[in-house]
A and B are shown apart, each in its own frame.
Chain A
Amino acid sequence: MSRLQQRFAELKQQNRAALVTFVTAGDPDYPHALAILKGLPEAGADVIELGMPFTDPMADGPAIQLANIRALEQGQNMLKTLSMVREFRKENSQTPLVLMGYYNPIYHYGVARFVADAKEAGVDGLIVVDLPPEHNDELCEPAQAGGLDFIRLTTPTTDDHRLPKVLEGSSGFVYYVSVTGVTGAQAATLDHLDQAVARLRRHTELPLCIGFGIRTPEHAASVAQRAEGVVVGSALVDRIAKANTPAQAVEDVLSLCRQLAEGVHNAR
């Protein structure tokens, strides 16, 4: 059983949803990003998404764009991102960690080398924004053959006709992008979520995690009543942007994570 399967199975037994947190590797700098990463499980994160920085994050709003820039300015690159994962795994063998980003840095690194190095470092899955199922041969298939889950984004525009194609190559969980927009935009209505969740459940038995626009513990709790996981990214990343010092950033991110976890874990 993969770490992701294991985690979602445990949570199901406990009848609670997963808090899925997103931060960008190397933001605000390597040591403090590592401190955040190491602190997240204890602060209540059940699944970790770690962003691989890219100069041109086309599907991200201002908060995560700036996080990418901060990380790259501090010299973050793929080798350092993988070494962050290795350092994290020295202390934590339970919390699933998923790398999230865009295809070009992976393509440039070399797909076979990336899959092998990511697996070896302790990565559990990948979310790559600009690889739709039309390009499954690029990374989805090699990643799954190499023991990594490939997590798909489904969106409000992914209709019933298209959903089976999108879900076919999915494993780990299904990420529902709840609004048409970039990360950090406004949130979907609960009515929309109810309909979307019902529709997705007709097509898949994989755990559903819902993201985009979720910022507060209360909001996270209401999503947690509907899905297996709640993804929070921009709100956490904003705390890094607003902190006066890198040490403050670590503290602020973990403190928001604790509040979100309380909302998510007590929702049902």
Chain B
Amino acid sequence: MSYRNGPDARGLFGRFGGQFVAEILMPLINDLAAEYEKAKGDPAFLQELAYFQRDYVGRPSPLYFAERLTEHCGGAKIYLKREELNHTGAHKINNCIGQILLARRMGKKRIIAETGAGMHGVATATVAARFGLDCVIYMGTTDIDRQQANVFRMKLLGATVIPVTAGTGTLKDAMNEALRDWVTNVDTTFYLIGTVAGPHPYPAMVRDFQAVIGKETREQLQEKEGRLPDSLVACIGGGSNAMGLFHPFLDEPSVKIIGVEAAGYGIETGKHAASLNGGLPGVLHGNRTFLLQDDDGQIIDAHSISAGLDYPGIGPEHAWLHDIGRVQYTSITDQEALDAFHTCCRLEGIIPALESSHALAEVFKQAPKLPKDHLMVVNLSGRGDKDMQTVMHHMQDQLEKHA
């Protein structure tokens, strides 16, 4: 049996996934699925994709032995997959390049996207600029406030950033608004979803574009250590960086795989973004997955210090991998992530994104307990430049508390 054959023809991973969208979008989504099927078997498309991944994104990203973090933990040998070195500073561009090439094949002239932390928005604005397509980014007002630098970057790149005030003004609300744009402009517009969620074929397509992370990791570790890793760790909001790292290893039983959700103030407080550890199956944004919801099936707003994890759902393939137990999903609080953020800055001279800091915090918990020959790969999915404001505010708050 393989864990890598999903989804089925209806877009389902076990009972998760599917195509739960308004009828108006169905014909388009079916077209997209058909076009993607064609493209992924077309050598010309794959060649073009490989060209842009190498010369524009800067792939392959290094697999770096984090010597000082390893010393600090005193256990497992820690490798960082340096996705933060990609053009635009995160893994998001891997998917954006793939989808924009597809949008061109389909003759679409207008690109829309949702963004939380702004990394997907920046990556989308970047590829739209490169290919001369109109670009509209939906972003919640709460996220706009905490990610000013990324808002400015998107504007520099020629995108229109539309503030979304609905709900709590975070990623979920931005996605609702992008869907509303899409149903309105269905003929001209390509919706460039940033994570392994949404209706089929998005979860599979985004996974495939991100799987370059895991494929490279496999080859690079083989070169450096002559074998497979013993464990993989990645943070999860929607789950695209994690799925990209995990997928090529799912059928290797010796590889332990750990996804890290955002526990916010702690799962017991209810203020978190851990949909697997603190949610229930439900249907939102085109797919069935685990969702934060109340007794009436109303969606609850997520909380995380990191805007990129601040989403009440998770990609359906993760929901399935959780259900069948192939991947272990843990959670890390805001405070633990911040501590890991500082440790990585001081010890490695790398400023990680707050999202990736959740993965690092999990590594710092687990690595000390593991033997020195245990090979652990953590996905450093993004760089932390965008988080300066958030971290600064947090440090000031802490100082005031202790004053």
Residues of A within 8 A of B (CB): 53-61, 65, 72, 77-78, 102-109, 129-132, 134-135, 152-159, 162, 166, 177, 180-182, 185
Contacts and interface: CB of A to CB of B under 8 A. Distances in A.
Given A104-B282, A130-B20, A157-B24, A181 B183 contact: yes
Contacts of B297: 54, 78, 104-109
For the complex of A and B, the 8 pairs showing the least CB-CB separation, nearest first, are A108-B297, A105-B297, A77-B296, A155-B24, A181-B184, A55-B299, A130-B20, A55-B298
Contact of A153 (B22, B166, B167): B22
Given A55-B299, A185-B184, A177 B23 contact: yes
B172 interface: yes
9 contacts: A59-B179, A104-B282, A104-B291, A107-B283, A108-B296, A134-B19, A155-B24, A181-B184, A182-B180
A132 B284 contact: no
B285 interface: yes
B108 to A, nearest CB: 15
A60 B19 CA distance: 18
Interface string B7-48: 000100000001111111111100000000000000000000
Contact of B22 (A58, A72, A159): A58
A180 B184 contact: yes
Q: Which residue, B18, B180, B187, B293, has most C-beta atoms of chain A within 10 A?
A: B180
Contacts of B298: 53-55, 72, 77, 105
Interface string B113-128: 0000000000000000
Given A134-B10, A135-B20, A180-B185, A157 B299 contact: no
Task: Classify the interface of chain B: helix, strand, loop or mixed.
Answer: mixed
Nearest to A182: B180
Contacts of B281: 107
A159 B179 CA distance: 21
Contacts of B101: none
A103 B289 CA distance: 13
B388 interface: no
B23 A155 contact: yes
Contact of A180 (B19, B183, B280, B295): B183
A162 B20 contact: no
B281 to A, nearest CB: 8
A130 B19 CA distance: 8
B24 A180 contact: yes
Contact of A157 (B19, B20, B172, B186): B186
Contacts of A131: 20
Contacts of B22: 58-59, 129-130, 132, 153, 155
Contact of A104 (B167, B172, B299): B299
B176 interface: yes
A129 B281 CA distance: 19
Given A162-B26, A177-B24, A58 B179 contact: yes
B308 to A, nearest CB: 20
A135 B18 CA distance: 8
Contact of B282 (A60, A107, A152, A153): A107
Contacts of B286: 130
Q: Which residue, A53, A57, A155, A159, has most C-beta atoms of chain B within 10 A?
A: A155
A67 to B, nearest CB: 13
A223 B176 CA distance: 30
Contacts of A60: 180
A182 B183 contact: yes
Contact of B283 (A57, A104, A109, A155): A104
B27 A104 contact: no
Q: Which residue, B27, B176, B283, has most C-beta atoms of chain A within 10 A?
A: B283
B23 A166 contact: yes
A59 B27 contact: no
Given A56-B284, A78-B296, A108-B293, A162 B27 contact: yes
A84 B167 CA distance: 26
B310 to A, nearest CB: 15
Nearest to B200: A134
Contacts of B25: 157
Contacts of A77: 295-296, 298
Interface in B264-287: 280-286
Q: Which residue, B21, B24, B185, B295, has most C-beta atoms of chain A within 10 A?
A: B24
A135 B16 CA distance: 12
A135 B284 CA distance: 14
A135 B20 CA distance: 8
A104 B285 contact: no
Contacts of A152: 23
Contacts of A185: 184
A131 B22 CA distance: 7
Contact of A135 (B19, B180, B187, B280): B19
A181 B189 CA distance: 13
Given A157-B27, A185-B184, 5 more contacts: A56-B176, A108-B293, A132-B19, A132-B26, A134-B18
A89 B10 CA distance: 39
Contacts of B184: 180-182, 185
B323 to A, nearest CB: 16
